[in-house]
Amino acid sequence: MIVQLLGLFARRLLVAIPILFVVSALVFVVLRVLPVDPAAMSMPPNATKSEIEAKRQEMGLDRPLPEQYAIWLGKTLKGDFGASIHFRRAVSSLIAETLPATIELALLAMLLAAGLGFAGGLLLFHWRGTWRGEAADLGSTMLMSAPDFLWGLLFILAFGVLWPLLPFTGRLASSFARPVHTGFLLLDTLIEGRLDMFLDVLKHMLLPATALGLAFSVPIMRVLRSSLYEIDHADYIRQARLRGVSEKRILLRHALKNAILPTLTLMGVQFGFLFGGTLLIEVIYSYPGLGNLMVDAVRNADLPIIQAVALAYAAVVLVINMIVDGLYLVLNPRLRAA
Amino acid sequence: MANALTRRSLLGATALGFFGLQSLASRNRARAAEPDAVTIGWPQDVPSWDPNQRFVPDAQPIFKMVFDQPLDQDPKLKLIPNVVKSWELAADARSLPIELREDVVFHNGDKMTTADFRYTFFERIKAGHKVDIANSWRKVTDIEIVSPTKAVMHFDSPAPTAPQWLAFLGSYVVPKDYMEKTGVDGFRDKPIGSGPYRLAEYELNARIVLERNDAYWGQKAKMRRVTFEIIKDPSARVAATQSGEVDLTISVPVREVQRLKNEPNLDGELNPITRVILLQVRDDLGFADQNVRLAAHHAIDKKALSQAFYGGAAVPLSVPATPGTAAYLDDYRFSYDPELAKQLLAKSGYSIEKPAKFTFASTNGNFPSDYDIARALVQMWKKVGIEADLEVIEYAKYFELNRGAKLPEATLYSFDNATGDPEIFAGYLLNPKMPFSAWKGMEIGQRAIDLFNVANYDERVAGYKTLNKDAVESGASIPLLQSVQTLVRKKNLTYTRYENGWVRADTMAWG
């Protein structure tokens, strides 16, 4: 199986490279075609025409588009994403500072979405044909109807202001000195052996992660329920019933294992959207991740950051899909046999 | 039985979850204030910890806590000594001798000398460091060091506002030895200043923690610890203030200030500051006709705009300067007169039936109520015979159009000037050689250009006073309102209010 997994990862990597090339080229061209002038944005009001023009040349914006892309690509392949126009420091360092926060938030959101989705899916299936099932279905539709940023604002109002139970800005209380190891604060606090800090980080993540994950839990619920419906009529399930196996055991030990596969594929696809959803949530919750950085970059026409972050998002989504495909291989013996 | 078990399990799980949440929770409301610490909700992070690098007005109150400027301003914006204890601009404004204090020490213990001053305002720029102060100090040809505390700045042409710029954007003295040792990147990661606070902790787009510098040469701040929580979303800033997560915040919607004033432990303020909301206008296309420009100005009911969008706190302006600043004209008023507007338009053959047309640009969300003001102006103009085609532009787009001289006939803009000096108001707005100025007409423009070289302060101010009035009366300038800063704070938190909107943590106290 290890060999099969490695083979799968190698094939996915080979496919990922041209995908990233295409994404980078598309983003690059679109940004250059848009009517923004990053040179003008980066100069103060008392700048002269010649100073703005000199800035434009320094940024390479006066060169032909293919040449600009070739220069940028050459540097990117060496890990040099250029310097931010606004922050005037290496883009790679900005991404290194902010990407772990976003990944951590997205993973927690996905975990919550999966937890809620699986629990909800099982309940929806168990309550099928009853009034509870109908009510739960309606509830799940309502959950899905509100966008994540609306949940975000409602949670702040409810749990931050009206019943102030949880913090809603930043990643850690100001009374703690932030540990710096990996950038993944949950991990860093455990490395420091600080359970109090770990819990504080978790508290800070709870509202944004829930806001993000809530809407994504509903499709998981429904796909799981549909898969369970299908599997419910399978021969091996009927045979298990005939042998006197309990419904609970049939559901959890037999049906779920197979029903989970399409759900897993959906989660892989959803993660891409969820990762993109971190943008607005991070702004609302003042969460210092990649999304927050990207919003600043768009406002300031900071092209190097926009390009690099777009590439980072694409890379993360590809990696997640690779992991999901790997999990699929592990859980589905038919694929391993093939 | 199976259903009962499931319901019981579900209820049990819910109860567990709730109590679990409670154990994770902490009550935030009315968090007890530490007597010597304050938390401020701030709308924007610093662009970097090199204070010379970027001109970002919102970053100045933070930079002023960590770094020192050569000169400072008092709350009424009068220029006062700071680390430079005396200065005297030459009569021809081509040199500026300065004398530093002897007791200024950087946070690493290094004494501040004129070598640091020269490095900041001359050597860094010559070395090609990518800093915005390269633009403001481009006239500097040398800084002659006379002694460790005395130096003379030399300029290639008159620099009448050099003293003002020593207290303005980006002009902070950085330590030469330390910066040369660590490099610019290293300095940004571990900045050293000489200010009343030192940087204790920083997380990009999240938090800035400052600890008091007990070796500060000036008056020691009352707050031992200042935390800036970077909260970019205005709704989140409001919520953070209401929940007690922060003790003070700025730039919240006007209606929220009015609402939060009713909270028992909060105070809301609408403070007029040295920021002008105005229309940047062209002298060609649909605005080539002076009658149209003047009519557009006479048609605007500024009092109504202030009442509708700023609770009446924004002062209507007749000149591109704010009350209390040097070139403001206390006795001059440009009238709101729709009938006069119609007459002016009629002279040029326009009427309600045959309106004058031009394009009008505005941002949406760049400053409070910008788009609302723009829409109100369109309606006011319609009533007199002007049809303005309103175009919403992004903040980034404004820069592209402005620097490329492609702004439309009128653009709504908010222009900050912490010094209050008229060169930065009318001078920048009307100097046709500056890309920033949308106005390219030379009759008014040449006068603005000439004033940049007038060395004598009183003469310069007198010149700007006349220019301000003439610019308005020829339609070259259409000022609207003095902008207001919205601020909400805990009732028992005091601070010193500055007329330019600086919110200085070193003036804060619990009392």
What is the SS3 assignment for A260-326? Answer: HHHHHHHHHHHHHHHHHHHHHHHHHCCCCCHHHHHHHHHHCCCHHHHHHHHHHHHHHHHHHHHHHHH
Q: Do B201 and A170 touch (CB under 8 A)?
A: no
Mutation target to probe the B interface, by most B beta carbons within 10 A, among A34, A285, A286, A292 is A286
Residue B10 has pLDDT above 60, yes or no: no
Q: Do B206 and A170 touch (CB under 8 A)?
A: yes
Q: Do A41 and B399 touch (CB under 8 A)?
A: yes
CA pair distance B180, B192, nearest whole angstrom:
12
CA A17 to chain centre: 20
Residues in chain A with CB shorter than 8 Å from the CB of B39 are 174
| Residue B30: predicted pLDDT | 42
DSSP sequence for A146-157: S-HHHHHHHHII
Q: Which helix (H) or strand (E) holds A246?
A: none
Tens digit of each residue's pLDDT (9 = 90 or more) over B250-285: 999 888 998 998 999 999 999 999 999 999 999 999
Tens digit of each residue's pLDDT (9 = 90 or more) over B308-352: 999 899 999 999 999 999 999 999 999 999 999 999 999 999 999
The reported pTM is 0.89
Q: Which of A72-76, A214-218, B220-224, B365-369 has the highest mean pLDDT?
A: B220-224
Banded pLDDT at B22 (limits 50, 70, 90) = very low
Tens digit of each residue's pLDDT (9 = 90 or more) over B233-253: 998 999 999 999 999 999 998
List, as ranges, residues 177-196 from A with C-beta within 8 Å of B: 177-178
Task: Determine contact: A285 vs chain B, CB below 8 A.
Answer: yes
Residue B334 Cα distances to A9, A206, B52, angstroms? 73, 55, 39
DSSP state of B57: G
List chain A pLDDT tens, one digit each, 338 residues. 778 778 878 888 888 888 888 888 888 888 887 777 777 777 777 788 888 888 888 888 888 888 888 888 888 888 899 889 889 889 999 999 999 999 999 999 999 999 999 998 888 888 888 888 888 888 888 888 888 889 999 999 999 889 889 999 999 998 898 998 999 999 999 999 999 999 999 999 999 999 999 888 988 998 988 888 888 777 777 888 788 888 778 777 777 777 787 888 888 888 888 888 899 999 999 999 999 999 989 888 898 999 999 888 888 888 888 887 887 777 766 666 55
Residues in chain A with CB shorter than 8 Å from the CB of B402 are 40
Q: Do A43 and B135 touch (CB under 8 A)?
A: yes
Ramachandran class of B49: left when φ > 0, alpha when ψ lies in -120 to 50, beta otherwise = alpha
Residue B86 has pLDDT above 80, yes or no: yes
Task: Determine contact: A176 vs chain B, CB below 8 A.
Answer: no
Q: Which helix (H) or strand (E) holds B223?
A: none
Residues in chain B with CB shorter than 8 Å from the CB of A41 are 396, 399-400
Residue B16 has pLDDT above 60, yes or no: no
Q: How many CB pairs under 8 A join A and B?
A: 166
Task: Please check whether residue B284 is in contact with residue B432, taking contact to mean a CB–CB distance below 8 angstroms.
Answer: no
Task: Please check whether residue B419 is in contact with residue B168, taking contact to mean a CB–CB distance below 8 angstroms.
Answer: yes
Residue B6 has pLDDT above 90, yes or no: no
Chain position carrying tokens 């392949």: A77
| Residue B376: predicted pLDDT | 98
Q: Do B232 and A247 touch (CB under 8 A)?
A: no
| Residue B13: predicted pLDDT | 52
Task: Determine contact: A162 vs chain B, CB below 8 A.
Answer: no
Strand partners, A168: none
**pLDDT over 70 percentage in chain B:** 94
| B480-494: average pLDDT | 96
Residue B8 has pLDDT above 80, yes or no: no
Q: Do B2 and A247 touch (CB under 8 A)?
A: yes
Q: In terms of DSSP bridges, do strands B207-212 and B197-203 run parallel, antiparallel, or are they unpaired?
A: antiparallel
Task: Determine contact: A94 vs chain B, CB below 8 A.
Answer: yes
Residue B12 has pLDDT above 60, yes or no: no
| B288-312: average pLDDT | 96
Other residues' Cβ atoms within 10 Å of the Cβ of residue A322: 18
Residue B328 Cα distances to A191, B92, B318, B446, angstroms? 61, 25, 9, 20
Render the burial of B36-49: b for 16+ CB within 10 Å, e for the rest.
ebbbbbbebbbbbb
Say which of A37, A178, A288 has its CB closest to residue B399: A37
Residue ranges of the domains in chain A?
91-337
> How far does the CA of residue A178 sit from the closest CA of chain B (Å)?
8
| Residue A239: predicted pLDDT | 82
Q: Do A286 and B47 touch (CB under 8 A)?
A: no
Counting Cβ atoms within 10 Å, is residue A39 exposed (0-12), middle (13-18) or buried (19+)? buried
Residue B43 has pLDDT above 50, yes or no: yes
Identify the CA nearest to A50 among candidates B156, B138, B399.
B138
Counting Cβ atoms within 10 Å, is residue B194 exposed (0-12), middle (13-18) or buried (19+)? buried
Mutation target to probe the B interface, by most B beta carbons within 10 A, among A50, A89, A309 is A89
Q: Do B54 and A88 touch (CB under 8 A)?
A: yes
Task: Determine contact: A168 vs chain B, CB below 8 A.
Answer: yes
| Residue A334: predicted pLDDT | 67
Q: State which residue of chain B sits closest to A47, comparing Cα positions.
A: B135
CA pair distance B417, B499, nearest whole angstrom:
10
Q: Do A86 and B24 touch (CB under 8 A)?
A: no
Counting Cβ atoms within 10 Å, is residue B350 exposed (0-12), middle (13-18) or buried (19+)? buried
Return the ∠ at Cα B331 (arms to B326 and B334), rounded to 5°. Answer: 105
> Phi, psi (5° rounding) for residue B110?
-70, 140
| Residue A250: predicted pLDDT | 78
Q: State which residue of chain B sits closest to A162, comparing Cα positions.
A: B243
> How far does the CA of residue A20 sit from the closest CA of chain B (Å)?
27
Task: Determine contact: A40 vs chain B, CB below 8 A.
Answer: yes
CA pair distance B86, B76, nearest whole angstrom:
19
- Nearby residues of A286 by Cβ (< 8 Å), 6 or more positions away: A169, A170, A292, B205, B206, B229, B230, B231, B232, B233, B236
Residues in chain A with CB shorter than 8 Å from the CB of B25 are 165-166, 203
Q: State which residue of chain B sits closest to A202, comparing Cα positions.
A: B24
Interface predicted TM-score (ipTM) over 0.90 = no
Residues in chain A with CB shorter than 8 Å from the CB of B55 are 44-45
Task: Please check whether residue B404 is in contact with residue A40, taking contact to mean a CB–CB distance below 8 angstroms.
Answer: yes
| Residue B79: predicted pLDDT | 96
Residue B20 has pLDDT above 60, yes or no: no
> How far does the CA of residue B171 sit from the closest CA of chain A (Å)?
14
Mutation target to probe the A interface, by most A beta carbons within 10 A, among B42, B199, B224, B233 is B233
| Residue B24: predicted pLDDT | 45
Say which of B185, B396, B428 has its CB closest to residue A45: B428
Residues in chain B with CB shorter than 8 Å from the CB of A166 are 24-25
Encoded tokens for A255: 């049906």
Is 1.10.3720.10 the CATH classification of the domain at A91-337?
yes
| Residue A14: predicted pLDDT | 84
Banded pLDDT at B1 (limits 50, 70, 90) = very low
CA pair distance B479, A56, nearest whole angstrom:
32
Q: In terms of DSSP bridges, do strands B71-73 and B79-81 run parallel, antiparallel, or are they unpaired?
A: antiparallel
